[in-house]
Amino acid sequence: ALNKQLSISDVSGHHGPSYHMSDHSEAVFFRTNRSFIFTKLGTHAQRSFGLNQQDLRKGINLLDIVHPSSFIRVRDLLRERSERAEDIELELHARSQRTLEDNWILVRLVPVITERGEFHGWSGFGVDITAQKEAQRDFEKKQKQVAVLRKVSDSVGTSIEAEEIADLGLSTLCEELEADGGICFLFQLESTGQLKLASSYGLIRQEHLDPAELSAMQSVCSAVADSGETMVFSNIANIDGPLAALAENRGLNSAVVVPIGAKRQEDLGAIAIFGKGDRSFSEEDVLLINLAGLQVGIAARQSYVFTAYRKQTKRLEALYRLSHALSTNMIFDDIVRKSFEIMKEELGLKRLWLGL
């Protein structure tokens, strides 16, 4: 049993019951001496660790197959428990010595005691939980995506002005992704087909850009906004195109440019996110940036609709006031004077002539 210390007779023999069991199951079984140097390996242990029985002659230690990211944690745990010869339970993040593939194994190490009561070594038994860890990691990634999108949605929901929406959405997205820079272009409500800079962040702030750099990014964002297709760049400085000089000047390495759309075939602009040095964007990052672009697009479209409604309401109000003035004044001079006052106020006119 694994809940008690084993005697040396319980685990003796290469083809003992524990090995026989492990070879006909998915169990990972192995033995080590007191210093955690492997002495025997079951079939699935050999596969998971990337070792064979001949490798045992090399004096390979259990710590030799631990993933670098878990090394200190496992080393300290083994040191602490081995001094007291107590059972050790751990999630072992192992790296295959042959393929360098990563495996996660839930392991229990039980002290092996001789008939004289001497601490002889360790008997290890475990199950592979790699699939479960990958599923957990995917779930955590999705949780992070949802959290970021919620923050973007909350930020853009605090404004009804399109440019402020773009600024809030871009800054939130860059901060959550730890991006080094970002920029956002929007078509105007009464669009002439030209994108206008709406927001910038980090290394790409407008005050840091010269006209050529701004034009380069506008060109790329315009292509994305027109096509509705996402563009992903790596090693930008080595790619012929308008971004190469910008990347070289500012040490940028990677970029993701996505359309801002409220719905399909209704792109309102584009967002570009940049990373410097060895920063790269994963497929999950690209998906997240696209979804954020969609959220910014929905909020911007609502802003445009509200702005158009506000303008229309203002025009209708002016017409009502003008109609009221015409109906309450019967003298020509009064009609003209009152009408002119209303039109100057509503239209922002300084002078107005009437010819008869």
For residue 169, give the amino acid letter: G
**Crossing angle (nearest 10°) for helices 332-347 and 283-328:** 170
Distance CA 279, CA 179 (A): 8
When pLDDT is averaged across residues 34-63 and rounded to a whole number, the result is 90
Model pLDDT, residue 126: 92
With a pLDDT cut of 70, the percent of the chain lying above it is: 74
Model pLDDT, residue 306: 64
CA dihedral 306, 308, 309, 314 (to 10 degrees): 130
Distance CA 155, CA 169 (A): 6
Distance CA 64, CA 10 (A): 27
Question: 235-265 burial, b for 16+ CB within 10 Å, e for fewer?
Answer: ebbeeeebbbebbeebebbbbbbbbbbbeee
The pair of three-digit structure tokens given for residue 25, joined into one six-digit string: 């199951």
Average pLDDT taken over every residue of the chain:
78
- Alpha carbon of 16 to those of 28, 42, 124, 306: distances in Å? 15, 11, 14, 78
Model pLDDT, residue 234: 84
* Low-confidence winner among 72-76, 83-87, 107-111 (lowest mean pLDDT): 83-87
Model pLDDT, residue 20: 47
For residue 39, give the amino acid letter: T
Contact 303, 187 (CB under 8 A): no
CA dihedral 85, 89, 94, 98 (to 10 degrees): 60
Distance CA 215, CA 217 (A): 6
For the ranges 75-89, 239-253, 340-354, the maximum mean pLDDT occurs at: 75-89
Model pLDDT, residue 23: 53
Cross-strand pairs, 29:
125
* Low-confidence winner among 74-78, 199-203, 229-233, 237-241 (lowest mean pLDDT): 237-241
Q: Express each pLDDT in 264-273 by its tens digit.
A: 456 688 889 9
Three-class secondary structure assignment of the chain? CCCCCEEHHHCCCCCCHHHHHHHCCCEEEEEEECCCEEEEECHHHHHHHCCCHHHHHHCCEHHHHECHHHHHHHHHHHHHHHCCCCCEEEEEEEECCCCCCEEEEEEEEEEEECCCCCEEEEEEEEEECHHHHHHHHHHHHHHHHHHHHHHHHHHHCCCCCHHHHHHHHHHHHHHHHCCCEEEEEEECCCCCCCEEEEEEEECCCHHHCCHHHHHHHHHHHHHHHHHCCCEEEECHHHCCCCHHHHHHHHCEEEEEEEEEECCCCCEEEEEEEEEECCCCCCHHHHHHHHHHHHHHHHHHHHHHHHHHHHHHHHHHHHHHHHHHHHHHCCCHHHHHHHHHHHHHHHHCCCCCCCCC
Model pLDDT, residue 65: 93
Nearest CA to 174 among 288, 61, 84, 68?
A: 288
Question: 79-116 burial, b for 16+ CB within 10 Å, e for fewer?
Answer: eebbeebeebebebbbbeeeeeeebbbbbbbbbbbeee
